[in-house]
């Protein structure tokens, strides 16, 4: 290392700084499989071999060589740590208890009541059954309006959040009641099981609180990856994909190597390959369907470039309805939607009082 670095001694990173532990066998296997896929996606093995061949014939390394080595090393470490973080993630969901179940069912009941009030329909049998289960008196239609129903839904959500904050203690009390019932029915001593269950519930609740304090729910975006090519073919689904300003648009095949110009937004499949195409009117022809070229990606790390790509992606996604020429974007719908989606004609249609014969509508309408 001293000779290769021009007589500059470099201290390697301590081994324990790169270590992590996964005691679960399933998670270990999942980690290895996930890391292998990420290595293949980033062509790590080939890049390491290329870098080794580049260094082999050099007696001294310049700053460019050292930077290339460090960048690749940082990327490998980042892949390992991010994969371990993803695979080793613990489920910190709320612990179930009788109180939490009741709170969730209460929200469902009030949302169902709100739906009945808004749509002016009777209470269904399932709503009545749920109300009886919760020992809740259903209000008559004259006693409640939409605003009061919305208020009841919000209050039910607030009550559920209180239960979630005390999930450990409430589950502990619930387990205690269960253990006492079991001991009463079977005559067995459930103290040992009860103590272990209580300790687990309280520890999990405390750990969830500490995690919320020490680590925020959201983290900054480090990088995004952009494909280097525009057209991709998936032979299994028989679909042609175009990368258009941050999204992939899938086009269906209708005969041999010809695809429709109309497409829908989808995620690029894993088995897609890079192809060349030729557009003629509303038809797209794949020129090299036998291609085996795998997709390659470029990493964008500069914040201003990431922001630009995200804005382009969002803009393209929001324009999909206009590109597809959906009915609400046509001239025939303009009088109905007006500027803000509401008009006198809209109210008449919703109220069922519109006179269709008096309207001068197009064939499309």
Helix axes 63-87, 44-56, angle to 10 degrees: 160
Find, among 92, 69, 84, the residue nearest to 12 by Cα.
69
CA distance 102 to 289: 57
Q: Which ranges of the chain would DSSP assign to H, the alpha helix?
A: 25-42, 44-56, 63-87, 98-119, 125-133, 146-165, 167-186, 191-214, 303-318, 320-323, 334-337, 344-351
List CB contacts of 257: < 8 A, sequence separation 6 or more: 285, 286, 287, 289
Rounded Cα distance, 98 and 133, in Å = 13
Query: What was the pLDDT predicted at 340?
Result: 65
Six-digit token string for 146? 């939409």
User: Which residues of the chain are under the pLDDT cut of 50?
Assistant: 1-18, 91-92
Identify the pLDDT of residue 4: 42
Question: Quick one: pLDDT at residue 215?
Answer: 57
pLDDT given for residue 5 in this prediction:
40
Enumerate the β-bridge partners of residue 260.
Answer: 283
CA-based nearest residue to 309, from 213, 245, 255: 245
Place of tokens 């709100």: 114
Pair of tokens at residue 342 = 């509401």
The whole-angstrom separation of Cα 296 and Cα 274 is 9
220 φ, ψ (degrees, to nearest 5)? -70, 155
- Interior CA angle at 21 toward 15 and 25, to 5°? 140
- What pLDDT is recorded for position 242? 92
Stated pTM of the model: 0.38
Determine contact, residues 126/134, Cβ cutoff 8 Å: no
Nearest residue to 327 via CA among 361, 350, 354: 361
The dihedrals phi and psi of 50, each to the nearest 5 degrees, come to: -65, -40
Alpha-carbon distance values, 280 to 94, 104, 257, 261, 290 (Å): 56, 56, 13, 9, 21
Quote the pLDDT of residue 97: 75
Q: What is the DSSP string of 19-66?
A: ------HHHHHHHHHHHHHHHHHHTHHHHHHHHHHHHHT-SS--HHHH
Q: Which residues of 104-127 are buried (b: 16+ CB within 10 A; e: fewer)?
A: ebbbbbbebbbebbeeeeebeeeb
């Amino acid at each position: 290392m001293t000779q290769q670095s021009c007589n500059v001694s470099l201290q390697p990173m301590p081994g324990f700084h790169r270590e992590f532990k996964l005691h679960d066998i399933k998670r270990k296997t999942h980690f290895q499989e996930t890391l292998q896929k990420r290595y293949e996606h980033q062509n790590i093995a080939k890049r390491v071999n290329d870098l080794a061949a580049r260094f082999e014939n050099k007696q001294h390394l310049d700053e460019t060589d050292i930077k290339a080595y460090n960048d690749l090393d940082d990327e490998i470490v980042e892949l390992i740590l991010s994969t371990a973080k993803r695979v080793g993630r613990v489920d910190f969901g709320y612990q179930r208890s009788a109180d939490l179940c009741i709170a969730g069912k209460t929200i469902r009941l009030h949302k169902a009541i709100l739906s009945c009030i808004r749509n002016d329909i009777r209470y269904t049998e399932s709503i009545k059954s749920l109300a009886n289960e919760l020992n809740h008196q259903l209000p008559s239609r004259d006693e409640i309006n939409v605003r009061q129903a919305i208020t009841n839904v919000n209050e039910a959500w607030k009550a559920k959040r209180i239960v979630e904050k005390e999930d450990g203690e409430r589950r502990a009390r619930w387990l205690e009641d269960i253990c006492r019932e079991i001991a009463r029915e079977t005559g067995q001593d459930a103290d040992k099981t009860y103590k272990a269950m209580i300790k687990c519930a309280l520890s999990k609740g405390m750990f969830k609180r500490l995690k919320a304090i020490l680590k925020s729910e959201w983290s900054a975006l480090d990088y995004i990856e952009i494909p280097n090519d525009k057209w991709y073919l998936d032979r299994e689904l028989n679909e042609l994909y175009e990368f258009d300003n941050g999204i992939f648009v899938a086009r269906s095949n209708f005969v041999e190597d010809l695809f429709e110009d109309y497409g829908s937004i989808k995620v690029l499949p894993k088995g897609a390959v890079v192809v060349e195409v030729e557009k003629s009117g509303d038809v797209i022809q794949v020129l090299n369907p036998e291609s085996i070229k795998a997709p390659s990606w470029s990493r964008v790390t500069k914040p201003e470039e990431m922001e630009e790509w995200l804005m382009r992606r969002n803009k393209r996604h929001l324009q999909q309805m206009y590109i597809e020429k959906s009915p609400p974007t046509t001239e025939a719908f303009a009088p109905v939607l007006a500027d803000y989606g509401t008009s006198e004609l809209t109210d008449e249609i919703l109220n069922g009082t519109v006179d269709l014969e008096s309207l001068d509508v197009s064939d499309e309408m």
